[in-house]
Chain A
Amino acid sequence: MKGRIKPVLEYSAALLVLLAAWWYVSGPMGMPAYLLPSPASVAELLWSMLMNGKLLPHLAFTMQNIVIGLVVGSVFGVLLAYAFFKTPALSDYLEGPLVVIQTAPKIALAPLIIIWFGLGLTAKIVLIFSLVFFPVFAGALAGFRSIDSRLHDLAQLMNLSRFQRFLRIDLPAALPGIFVGVKIGAIQALVGAILAEWMSGSDGLGYLMTFATATYKTPLLFGAVLLTAFLGLAMHAILNEIEARFLSWSTPNEH
């Protein structure tokens, strides 16, 4: 337990310092409120929006898109990586092109995705998917390829079916690699979700940001940015917790 409390304290201390600096610049130093609203005014606004039900739908919308995009992107990333791993011919022909495509900044493709998939939910999910897919694919492929060859011997000795082999040996053995990809993918998913909301629609934290900017509601803009940052932190914490619980076997022993 001791090891858990320390990072929490460190995080809190860093946040307090930031908060104090923010308070000082916006208050005693006299920065105008339209440039930098005070922490109190931002907190007040967020609270009132929470109370009148105008905040949670936006937050939920963004989170929902992230989760869908992350799950779908991860599933497809892992499955394609497994297909590549099992079919060397496939990876011989497709791995090169795939890496080349990957070097194209997908954020630049965002407008194209909107044109192809419309202004609705589909385009948002597709954009998040495209950002999540590759890191998970790359992590999973590395994970599958680094499986101890003796585990393959074991699978053969046990006469496992293809499905048993995937589920009971290959997938768990590749999980540390897959998880590296998912952690990168989660950050990308947040970026993708916000970006997609900037470009179209009238829901989500990204939409709140563009709306606040267009109408000079600086406290709202700050609120949305802060919530996005907290969302990122929360995702990070959740993924770390999952990693600590399910992947402790892959780290060297603590004692």
Chain B
Amino acid sequence: MIKIEQLSKIYGQGDDQVVALEPLDQQINAGEFVSIIGPSGCGKSTLLRLIASLEDPTSGSVTLETANLKRPVGFVFQDAVLLPWKTVAENIRFPLDTTGVSRKQANEKVAELVELVGLKGFEKSLPKQLSGGMRQRAAIARALADDPPILLMDEPFSAVDLLTRETLNDELSRIWQKTGKTILLVTHSVEEAAYLGSRVMVMSPRPGRLKATYDVDLAQPRGEQTKRDPKFLDLVSELRTLMREMTS
């Protein structure tokens, strides 16, 4: 469970102050898939970075009920952020190598993850030899390697082409169902948010704040039929209208 209390973030000081996130309260239950959408500057990435402790909050707190794990969260960035001098397999194994998991155990885990994200045959490739979509798959596998209960994803698919994006969306949905992780996904795409999330948080910009939340009442597992479901289409159009109001 993630408990967010009066969490806010202000960058800069005095007249140059920018309020990235106004005080926000939210509770995210274990096993939820929360999509976060909003126009640029709405603080959605800031929220994610605050939850991951990559930034210090100006006020408020984030409590992760994860039994004091060394690494409670896996994080997937907009770009893959792989270590360019390591192969795909070494990159995926990196979180395990740095916590003293035995080499044999780690390699088994890597083989399993490579299979899961569909990178079989590319274990020994360097990141520069892969396409953007494949790098992103490797990054997702790395984030899953030491089995964190929470997965935070900051626009993970914005740099990949549409077709790959849809494939990765389906894979992510499958991974979520299989592992039961708590996932927070920041995205620009209302379809992606509605398609994947069990809940959608909509944020508005300047200053960044939470505008609305929607529970997504769509059957699991989701697939092509979801995209034709009238409930899905209604939600997408409602979200889109909301987004448009904010940007106009």
Task: Enumerate chain A residues within 8 angstroms of B70, measured Cβ to Cβ.
Answer: 159
A sample of 5 more A-B contacts (CB under 8 A), given A153-B54, A249-B84, A253-B129, is A168-B94, A172-B83, A173-B83, A249-B128, A250-B85
Q: Which residues of A contact B84 (CB under 8 A)?
A: 249-250
Q: Does B113 sit within 8 A of A, measured CB to CB?
A: no
Interface residues of B (CB under 8 A from A): 52-54, 70-71, 73-75, 77, 79, 81, 83-85, 94-95, 97-98, 126-129
A156 to B55, CA, bound (A): 10
A-B pairs with beta carbons under 8 A, tally: 47
Q: Is the CB of A169 within 8 A of B81?
A: no
Q: Which residues of B contact A172 (CB under 8 A)?
A: 83, 85
Tell me whether A158 and B95 are in contact (CB under 8 A).
yes
Interface digits, A215-255 against B, CB 8 Å rule (1 contact, 0 not)? Answer: 00000000000000000000000000000000011101100
- How distant is the Cα of A250 from the Cα of B77 in the complex, in angstroms? 21
Chain A residue total in the interface (Cβ 8 A): 21
Q: Closest B residue to A169 by CB, please name it.
A: B83
Contact of A156 among B53, B74, B128 (CB under 8 A): B53
A residues whose Cβ falls under 8 Å from a Cβ of B? 148, 150-151, 153-154, 156-160, 164, 168-169, 172-173, 175, 248-250, 252-253
Whether the Cβ atoms of A157 and B98 lie closer than 8 Å is no
| Residues on B with beta carbons closer than 8 Å to the beta carbon of A151 | 81, 83
Contact B98 A160 (CB under 8 A): yes
- Asked if A148 and B81 make an inter-chain contact with CB atoms under 8 angstroms apart, the answer reads yes
The minimal Cβ–Cβ distance linking A168 to chain B, given in whole angstroms, is: 7
Partner of B81, one of A153, A248, A249, A252: A153
User: How would you classify the secondary structure of chain B's contact residues: helix, strand, loop or mixed?
Assistant: loop
- CB-nearest residue of chain B relative to A156? B54
Q: What residue of chain B has the Cβ atom nearest to residue A252's Cβ?
A: B128
* Given A168-B98, A249-B128, A253-B129, A153-B85 contact (CB < 8 Å): no
Residues in B neighbouring A173, C-beta threshold 8 A: 83, 85
Contact B98 A158 (CB under 8 A): yes
B139 to chain A, nearest CB (A): 10
Q: Which A-chain residue is minimally distant from B54 (CB atoms)?
A: A153
10 A-B pairs with CB atoms under 8 Å apart are A153-B54, A153-B75, A153-B77, A158-B94, A158-B98, A160-B98, A164-B98, A249-B126, A250-B85, A253-B129
User: Min CB distance, B30 to chain A, in Å?
Assistant: 20
Q: Lowest 8 A-B CB distances belong to which pairs?
A: A249-B85, A150-B81, A249-B84, A253-B128, A157-B75, A172-B85, A249-B126, A159-B70
The residue in chain A whose Cβ has the minimal distance to the Cβ of B129 is A253
A253 nearest in chain B by CB position: B128
Q: Is the CB of B83 within 8 A of A157?
A: no
Distance to closest chain B CB from A159 (angstroms): 5
Which one, B71, B83, B97, B126, contacts A159 given CB within 8 A? B71
Indicate which residue in B79, B97, B128 contacts A150 across the interface (CB closer than 8 Å): B79
CB distance from A181 to the nearest CB of B (A): 18
Distance of B38 from chain A, by nearest CB (Å): 21
**CA distance in complex: A148, B83 (Å):** 10
Could you tell me the distance in whole angstroms from the C-beta of B93 to the nearest C-beta in chain A?
12
State the CA gap A164–B77 with chains docked (Å): 21
CA distance A136 to B218 in the complex (A): 60
CA distance in complex: A106, B57 (Å): 50
Bound-complex Cα distance A225 to B234 (A): 84
Closest chain A CB from B222 CB (angstroms)? 28
A252–chain B nearest beta-carbon distance, Å: 7
Chain B residues with CB under 8 Å of A156's CB are 53-54
Contacts of B83 in A (CB 8 A): 151, 169, 172-173
A172 to B97, CA, bound (A): 16
| Bound Cα distance from A151 to B94, whole angstroms | 13
- Among A158, A160, A172, residue most surrounded by chain B Cβ atoms (within 10 Å): A158
Bound-complex Cα distance A175 to B84 (A)? 12
Please measure, in the bound complex, the distance between the C-alpha atom of A130 and the C-alpha atom of B192, giving whole angstroms.
59
